[in-house]
Amino acid sequence: MLLSLLVIALMALYVSLSISILQKDLFMPFFMVNPIKYKSMSSGFSTLWREQGPSSLWRGWSGKFCGYGVQGGCKFGLYEYFKRLYSDVLVDYNRTSIFFLSSASAQIFADVALCPFELAKVRVQTQPHFAKGFE
């Protein structure tokens, strides 16, 4: 019970920190789709505000929220799983190596779990009529 509350709290912290880094994450898809139109951060922000209004700043937040929640849950949950697995398999190895391998393994699976959500977020941001309920 306590462990599940801790995991939920860590996921909420991870998601809130990730959402707070909005500027770069908001403008990168637009820069990649149309680099001529969005030349810099400031001109891109004003162009986006003028063309799509203030709601464009929040577009894609649900995909980001769900995706980073899943990524954080996988990262922290799978780290503990791999730490136990590698500790049982690699008995004679240094604990630092086991912690490093556990962290790297968990990060790989967490990033793969994030990919579909990130794809949906970018499509919601760059294609105005894609998944209207997923804004």
For residue 109, what are the contacts with CB-CB under 8 A and spacing of at least 6?
Answer: 74, 78
User: Which of 115, 123, 86, 112 minimizes the C-alpha distance to 101?
Assistant: 86
Half-sphere exposure of 95 (CA within 13 A, CB side): 0
d(CA 61, CA 53): 16
pLDDT band at 125 (very low <50, low <70, confident <90, very high): confident
What digits encode the pLDDT tens for the residues 85-106?
Answer: 999 998 888 888 889 999 999 9
User: Which of 21, 31, 17 minimizes the C-alpha distance to 125?
Assistant: 31
Cα end-to-end span (Å), the chain = 33
d(CA 6, CA 86): 23
pLDDT at 126 > cutoff 90: no
d(CA 113, CA 67): 8
- CATH assignment of 2-134, given 1.50.40.10, 3.40.50.880, 3.40.50.150, 1.10.1740.10? 1.50.40.10
User: Which of 135, 81, 90, 133 minimizes the C-alpha distance to 109?
Assistant: 81
User: Percentage of residues in the chain with pLDDT exceeding 70?
Assistant: 79
Mean pLDDT of 51-55: 75
What digits encode the pLDDT tens for the residues 12-43?
Answer: 777 676 666 655 666 677 777 777 777 777 77
Asked whether 44 and 126 are in contact (CB, 8 A), the reply is no
Pick 14 or 114 by higher pLDDT. 114
Q: Whole-model pTM above 0.85?
A: no
